[in-house]
Structure 1
Amino acid sequence: MRKLPFLNGVRAFEAAARHGAFSGAAEELHVTPAAISRMVRLLEDRLGVALFERKANRLSLTAAGRSYQAGLTPLLDALSNLTEQVVAQGAARVLTLGVGPTFAMRWLIPRLSDFRKIAPGIEVRFTTGGVAADFSDDWTCGVTLGDGKWPGLRAERLFPADLTPVCRPELARDLKEPGDLAEESLIRVSHAPEDWPLWLTAAGAPQVSAKGPAFEYYSQALQAALDGVGVAMGIHPYIEDDIAAGRLVAPFALSVPKGKQWHLVYRQEQEGDPDFQTFRRWLLESSGPPH
């Protein structure tokens, strides 16, 4: 069990020691000089040590007082700073979103300024972990691919996850039909080996084998396509901004459903959080018409 000193006396002594007078401490602590003097005297009585030498029109620290003040001032400064941090955290309106790194980089972050315009007081923080599979108690909500069924979580559909090959415009000029892909480097995503076979089968070119560099994330595969490495399998909505800007093109009109959709996932208790509801409405509106 902690044995703490008379804390009001500690504050009074430390302030008086800094100011060199009871009057300065009294002004800082909004009490009278006589009250400061009484609190310091009571502290000295409880410690059994004189902290000040009191002489006519002069107040000076004893050796014990100098040692005590040297340790107290940084402690009280640290306590003040800690208190300000805690108060700031309590006042902050923070929404923590569990999301994959590619979704964050290629869709959400470019649109985040729009959300800040309608809700400048809400801070959105990202954690790019495993999203719904390992839904954290610290997360407000998450965005992930799936079938909409996550035990214990609510799920609202945002976008379809359709697959479309994409590449640089100059490379697309040589791609007249899906079979032409056999001559190209087909960029793959290592955790989604089914993407290319799924699209190629639907396009009537199951004989084409996807051979090309493999990357861990869609963002890396799409960057490789932007750099002219080959043709990447794009997934909506990751490719929309690059296609709209002309950086990438879809050489074939065919889009094939991946078999999963993008969902906003959250716990039922979040429904009563007005900040979450603000973010939820914005996200649903930004994802376009209901699918």
Structure 2
Amino acid sequence: MSETSLQALPPLKALRSFEAAARHGSFSRAADELYVTHGAVSRQVRVLEDWAGVALFDRVGKKVVLTHAGRRFADKVSGAFGEIAAAARTLRADTQEARILTLNILPTFAMRWLLPRLSKFQFAHPQIELRLVTSDQPLDRIAPGQFDVAVRREGSLSAQDFRSGVVFTEDELPVCSPAFANANPVREAADIKSLPLLVADTRVGSWDRWFAAAGENDVGKDVALRRFDHFYLALQAAIDGLGFALGPLPLIEEDLAQGRLVAPLAGPKLSAVPYCWAVRTADAEDPTVAQFLDWLDGEATAFRRSR
């Protein structure tokens, strides 16, 4: 902008006071918005009127009313200020690009615990763009830079390359659909040995451990396992009446509450390995990673206290 065009502009401080006064129809409310005094707004409007050589407000007692020239000018000034505000937002968006945070999460944990809560994080941190990848691949087989935060079960973590922390520990209990329970009454662990037992390939030993905890040993050849490549499919199969699954209580509480699943046996509850977050040691101090981990820890703490 040339010096001549700058000189053609009225005083910007006066313009700001005039725009606020015109929008509010009040010098007092304009002063409140601008954190100045009523007199300061009045003086700045007078400066603008003197510069333009025309009255912009009629003073009627304690009230101010835009003149015809004032209304026309206010429309133009308001539009110009709106364009400046839009340009400023664009400028800030261009210079403060959204940080993409990539999450690598176990599928069942993502579907049944994380996703129902994730909107809270997005609302609190709109500048962070989330990318969610579901995987059960060992973390040390994933190239650096492919994820920022992961969630795995504790036994799959490598302490050498990652920092980690517990999200929660899961207790597993045999669950099935209400219809399956009605059709196949059970009172003790031995009763379910002859029924279809649902299991994921990643948890094939879980039923052996549960039967051992219930005092039922050497049952491997007696049970009929129906296997699935993902744990969430085994849980869905239980909901759909295909048999019993060992359901981790943190991941099925809503299904139990809504009656989609029931737990005919009170126990034993099998304590399984915890779900843990993990980040590469080199990424642990990243501010965006730290924000997500703080939020995750808060959600996990609230969840544990609610149980």
Structure 2 counterpart SS, 1:214: strand
Residues 197 and 210 of structure 1 are in contact (CA less than 8 Å); yes or no, is this contact kept in structure 2? no
Residue 267 (structure 1) aligned with residue 275 (structure 2):
no
Q: What is the alpha-carbon distance in structure 2 between the residues aligned to residue 185 and residue 146 of structure 1?
A: 28
1:106-134: CA deviations, max 9, x gaps?
22112111222222221221222315242
Residues 196 and 210 of structure 1 are in contact (CA less than 8 Å); yes or no, is this contact kept in structure 2? no
Q: Which amino acid aligns with 1:141?
A: V
Which of 103, 109, 112 is the aligned partner of 2:109? 103
- TM-score with structure 1 length normalisation? 0.63
Does the C-alpha gap of structure 1 residues 133 and 238 become closer, same or farther in structure 2, counting only changes over 3 Å? farther
Structure 1 counterpart SS, 2:210: helix
Q: What is the alpha-carbon distance in structure 1 between the residues aligned to residue 152 and residue 299 of structure 2?
A: 16
1:205-264: CA deviations, max 9, x gaps?
235433132101110101111110111122343222222322112222321122x22111
Q: What is the alpha-carbon distance in structure 2 between the residues aligned to residue 277 and residue 187 of structure 1?
A: 38
The answer for the alignment partner of 1:221 in structure 2 is: 234
The answer for the alignment partner of 1:66 in structure 2 is: none
Does the C-alpha gap of structure 1 residues 183 and 89 become closer, same or farther in structure 2, counting only changes over 3 Å? farther
The answer for the alignment partner of 1:251 in structure 2 is: 264
Instruction: State the identity as a percent.
Output: 34
Unaligned runs of 5+ in 2: 1-89
Residues 167 and 226 of structure 1 are in contact (CA less than 8 Å); yes or no, is this contact kept in structure 2? yes
Q: CA deviation at 1:176?
A: 1.3
Structure 2 counterpart SS, 1:183: coil
Q: Which amino acid aligns with 1:167?
A: C
RMSD across aligned positions (CA)? 2.4
Residues 222 and 232 of structure 1 are in contact (CA less than 8 Å); yes or no, is this contact kept in structure 2? yes
Runs (4+) off by over 6 Å: 87-90
The answer for the alignment partner of 2:201 in structure 1 is: 190
Q: What is the alpha-carbon distance in structure 1 between the residues aligned to residue 111 and residue 276 of structure 2?
A: 17
Does the C-alpha gap of structure 1 residues 213 and 89 become closer, same or farther in structure 2, counting only changes over 3 Å? farther
Does the C-alpha gap of structure 1 residues 88 and 136 become closer, same or farther in structure 2, counting only changes over 3 Å? farther
Residue 154 (structure 1) aligned with residue 175 (structure 2):
no
The answer for the alignment partner of 1:179 in structure 2 is: 190
Q: What is the alpha-carbon distance in structure 1 between the residues aligned to residue 95 and residue 254 of structure 2?
A: 35
Unaligned runs of 5+ in 1: 1-83
Aligned residues: 204
